Amino acid sequence: MRAVVVERAGGPEVLVPTELPDPVPGPGELLVRLAVAGVNYKDVYERQAGSRATPPFVPGSEGAGTVLALGPGAEGFAVGDRVAWWAAPGSYAEQVIVPAAAAVPVPEDITAADAAAVLLQGLTAHYLTTSVHPAAKGETALVHSAAGGLGRHLTRLLTAQGVRVLATVSAPEKVEAARAAGAQEVLVRAEGGALADGGELAARVRELTDGRGVDVVYDGIGRDTFEAGLGAVRRRGLFVLVGSASGPAPALDPQSLASRGSLFLTRPTLVDYATDPDELRFRAAEVFDWLRDGRLELAVGGRYPLAEAARAHADLQSRRTTGKLLLLPS
């Protein structure tokens, strides 16, 4: 089968198309013919550090496709079923081994591309707005990277619940995408997390909230925006760190949360909110429902042949794209 491997830790150029033996499903596993693989920053981190396995390894963890075979004890699926997943290492390949417990059925009216594009970020937006901090009418939230896949989902879901969304984007050309998702105010960031117009992020947020600050911050950027985001949270508000696109957030003395206004800080991951098969399928079913009724809206930033995964990674890191990037086997 054709696949893409990380030859060594490094830049996009270390992603190399190659031929590998067809995999065989083990106990509790499905063998799936890939229809679409998703690209996200987790893949970039693993490629840069060679951290998931000793290179060479096949990157990627999300996608959709059709079941080809079942390993011993794999239950709940049959050959020919359409499935999607967010946690199957080695998804940049024509055939993927997917744990049955990590797969969700794809409804007939949802395409494989839509399932692959929505599942990871849709599940993440689901648990962030229903479990980590149930969205409530009248609140105000700060959403970073609101023109990206997760940022758009968060903005749309929060707005639908009556939350006022203040958003940041990385370039002026992304402002309209954030507004289209429902953001009421959109701030353009410069390098290092400052604002492009020379303003200071926390101060601007305070101005926009009459000095109060926001109820919750959703930050997938990390290092560049962490301190400013803490300064933008209201007394007893919540800071949700969901990623580190600019690098790891700086070290924090927990005692400082008291002096900042008795803040709450959490670093949740989908692993702890969608690993149980029943919870995973419940959340996935609601995500597909939200896609149908328009609460979630897909924005695909690019489709690339599987062999051009390096170009997809380069485009993702350049921040030239908006929405989800997909890889398609040729």
pLDDT in tens, 54-68: 889 999 999 999 999
| Burial of residue 319, with CB atoms counted within 10 A of its CB: 0-12 exposed, 13-18 middle, 19 or more buried | middle
Nearest one of 297, 316, 286, 37 to 153, comparing CA atoms: 297
pLDDT at 88: 96
| Residue 321, pLDDT above cutoff 90 | no
- Percent of the chain residues topping a pLDDT of 70: 99
- Three-state DSSP state, 304: strand
| Residue 323, pLDDT above cutoff 80 | no
Q: What is the mean pLDDT of the chain?
A: 94
pTM above 0.75, yes or no: yes
Average the pLDDT over 28-50 and give the result: 92
pLDDT at 50: 62
pLDDT in tens, 222-263: 999 999 999 999 999 999 999 888 889 999 999 999 999 999
Average the pLDDT over 136-151 and give the result: 94
pLDDT at 52: 64
pLDDT at 324: 87
More confident residue, 99 or 50: 99
Q: Are 188 and 160 in contact (CB under 8 A)?
A: no
Token pair of 238, please? Answer: 């919540």
pLDDT at 319: 72
CB under 8 Å to 6, separation ≥6 — which residues? 14, 15, 46, 47, 50, 55, 56, 57, 58, 59
pLDDT at 311: 97
| Residue 187, pLDDT above cutoff 80 | yes
Biggest CA pair distance of the chain: 61
pLDDT at 51: 62
Alpha-carbon span 53 to 6, nearest angstrom: 10
